[in-house]
Amino acid sequence: METEIIKPNKTALVKAAEIIKGGGTVAFPTETVYGLGADALNAEAVKKIFEAKGRPSDNPLIVHIADEKQLLSVVKVLPALAAYLIDRFMPGPLTLVLEKAESIPDEVTAGLKTVAVRIPAHPAAVALIRAAGTPIAAPSANASGSPSPTKASHVYDDLNGKIAYILDGGDCSIGLESTIIDFSVGKPRLLRMGGIPLDELTGLSDGVEGEIEALGTESAGRPLAPGMKYRHYAPKARVYLFEYGDTQGVELLCSLLCGEGKRVALILNSQSYVAQSGTQSGIFKIIANETTNEFVIRAALMNDAEDYARRLFYELRETDRKNADAVICEKAVDAGIGRSVNNRLEKAADKL
């Protein structure tokens, strides 16, 4: 089977919706990453997602809905703070974990009594859900464990021959998966950092009771939400991770690896290296194309945390395309969405 990539025009959306209604899977764009979707109310269709991705069956999926009205078919109870977050941040990169409705099969939730749900902001995603007439369960549309797809071509690289259809909505505008907040027990808690920084969610007022715990709960057993248990977002090469601003550490390791004949890729912050423009930094000279190193096969500079978020998965995939042996990454500034970037880097690094 050859996988077809097509722009999400009216004809394509009708065809994709028919595939979903017929129990098949379709890859589609969201503002975060591309998703691999199936009818969330059809257990047999949902199983095809896990088969295509090679995804462990105990890793729950996120259910995507078109609007708040559709929420009633997915969850039983909507706490006041959850309703407030929906009004304020959806459509957008926020996922809420709530008590699931009886209509949601266990295959979606990995047997949990809760379901993760969000309203995507990408118009093609919303149009597909409306055309299919059903909530759509969708994890990222990649081979399980590899960097998430932010382009239709990334989906094709991982899943060609395993799915029939990819809706090509262009590059994802955010580039990181959604933030996940759990409302299933007591105080709401963060389960996954993502496209909405935690500091935008905490300290909410407007008469809404409750606060969100700043720290999530990593699970050694059954994960409560995607991205909690398994190693994720990793390229084939070994990933080495340095703190923001540790230019000396980056340069030393790069020199050592190049001396061993390793093919090295660099993913760094421009703020750290622009200040070195008047120095004799070997790494800066490579980045600035003032000199070459035959073993440094790619050097990417990120302008700020938002730029890092948008480009991270693309750059990790490029290291695979360049057949890198090692990837040296410098963390983003540890604030706002930079914390989400660092979470993904830590998941990709070999130390986890």
Q: How confident is the model at residue 207 (pLDDT cuts 50, 70, 90)?
A: very low
Residue-wise pLDDT for 128-149, tens only, equals 999 999 999 999 999 998 999 9
Please give the helix or strand (H or E) that residue 285 lies within, else none.
helix 282-287
Residue-wise pLDDT for 228-255, tens only, equals 555 568 899 999 999 999 988 999 999 9
Is residue 5's pLDDT more than 80? yes
Residue-wise pLDDT for 328-351, tens only, equals 999 999 999 999 999 999 999 965
Strand, coil or helix: 255: helix
Domain 238-348 architecture:
3-Layer(aba) Sandwich (3.40)
Residue 219 has what pLDDT?
A: 46
Is residue 280's pLDDT more than 60? no
Every domain range in the chain assigned CATH 3.90.870.10 = 4-200
Report pTM: 0.91
Burial class (CB in 10 A: 0-12, 13-18, 19+), 346: middle
Contact present, 159 and 45 (Cβ < 8 Å): no
Residue 339 carries which side chain, given as an amino acid letter?
R
Residue-wise pLDDT for 187-197, tens only, equals 888 999 999 98
Is residue 205's pLDDT more than 60? no
CATH topology of domain 4-200: DHBP synthase (3.90.870)
Burial class (CB in 10 A: 0-12, 13-18, 19+), 101: middle
Every domain range in the chain assigned CATH 3.40.50.11030 = 238-348
Q: Hey, how many other C-beta atoms are within 10 angstroms of the C-beta on 9?
A: 11
Average pLDDT over residues 305-324: 96
Query: Which of 280-289, 293-302, 311-320, 334-343 has the lowest average pLDDT?
Result: 280-289
- When computed from its CA atoms, the radius of gyration of the chain, rounded to whole angstroms, is 21
Residue 122 has what pLDDT?
A: 98
